[in-house]
Amino acid sequence: MRVDRSDDALDTLFQPLADGALRWPDQGGALFLHARDGVGLRQQPRPGLVCEQGFKPEVDALHRAGLDTVELDTLDPARRFPLVLVLPPRQRDEARALFAQAIARTAPGGRVLACMRNDEGARSGETDLGRIAGPVGSLSKRKCRAFWTAPLDGAADPAQAAAWAAFDAPREILGGRFVSRPGVFAWDRIDAASALLAAHLPSDLRGRAADLGAGYGYLSAELLARCPGIVAVDLYEAQARALELARTNLSRVATTAELEFRWHDVTAGLDRGYDVIVSNPPFHGQGRDERPDLGRRFIAVAAEALNPGGRLWLVANRHLPYESVLDERFGQVRIVAQRGGFKVVEAIKHSKAPGKARA
């Protein structure tokens, strides 16, 4: 049974179409960049809709709604659309690159229609689209702003559009140790929490390991460097672009361990067992709102996937309420380190009969 989701930015994106300020194309369909499912999308038929999305939970939701998804790179480069819809991300360089891609995919006489929440940079997004597309119209509703171009024939500022399109390109960071790109968590640095966890990983970890929410691969690389007993690592990541970066970055690591890269929503559970799991779990969704339930679910999934006696090494913000699920799911739990607002936790799964101990 499908459950309709309230999504203010998505609903407001379709408001100009509902009000009659814009029309759904009679022919040629529409491309929806960073598409997601929700009430606004399904209020009216959307013939010819092509949805692009790389975040696995959103892809799964679109599929459950009966909508197909594509990767932008797999579309015919010559294909253009009379309408391109965009839900821009918060990261500004990634958003600017997406605006440039949207214009490049717009047919002559077509329009780009975008929407952002006011507290996620809507006014800046409107300004940025106008810089490369020319004059834009807009409306505000639900604390969001929808904005759209006049009929286009390419970018109003082709040089600026080309420069912005390059913002999204993968590039070397940290002296060439890793490759990353905007839009990935902590894309241009080593996240302080992950660094704290890596510094405390014990060398006696061994067996098959999983990295839940692997990002561009930093924790997995550190695990392999510090723990020679690890024979295999499965990297789980919901963001397709991050997983491809992890694949590149781990190819640079000298190891005999078996590596597997899994585009997967961890909250849906895992289908195999592990001796070791490491994780810096997310505590935000795609927006700004804090989501401690995500971290709790990561912990519960780790407990389910660990073999008896298996070890979870976790880092989290100190204020996040994870203790209850850790105590409930694991036989031993100890705080290994606390620094800079973060805590490193080791949790060991029951070997046989349940029995809790906490340090």
219: its two tokens:
């924790």
What's the CA gap between 85 and 24, in Å, rounded? 11
271: its two tokens:
């289908």
What's the CA gap between 355 and 132, in Å, rounded? 62
Strand partners, 136: 149
* Chain center to CA of 171: 18
- The residue ranges of every structural domain in the chain are 8-167, 171-358
Closest CA to 92 of 168, 144, 13: 168
Superfamily of domain 171-358: Vaccinia Virus protein VP39 (3.40.50.150)
- Fold match flag (8-167 vs 171-358): yes
What's the CA gap between 231 and 235, in Å, rounded? 13
Domain 8-167 matching CATH 3.90.550.10: the answer reads no
39: its two tokens:
């009430």
Task: With both helix axes pointing from N to C terminus, report the angle between 122-133 and 158-165 in degrees, rounded to the nearest 10.
Answer: 130
The full length of the chain comes to 359
What's the CA gap between 199 and 201, in Å, rounded? 6
Q: In what order do the strands lie in the sheet with 274-279?
A: 258-263, 229-237, 206-212, 274-279, 306-317, 342-348, 332-339, 357-358
- Which whole-number Å values give the CA distances from 186 to 29, 55, 104, in the listed order? 36, 17, 28
In the block, tokens 């022919």 appear at 27
User: What are the pLDDT tens digits along the chain (359 aa)?
Assistant: 333 446 899 999 999 999 999 999 999 999 999 999 998 898 888 999 999 999 999 999 999 999 989 988 788 888 999 999 999 998 899 999 999 999 999 999 999 999 999 999 999 999 999 999 999 999 999 999 999 999 999 999 999 999 999 998 999 999 999 999 998 999 999 999 999 999 999 999 999 999 999 999 999 999 999 999 999 999 999 999 999 999 999 999 999 999 999 999 999 999 999 999 999 998 755 555 667 789 999 999 999 999 999 999 999 998 888 899 999 999 999 999 999 999 999 999 987 644 444 44
Q: Are 247 and 216 in contact (CB under 8 A)?
A: no
162: its two tokens:
């080309």
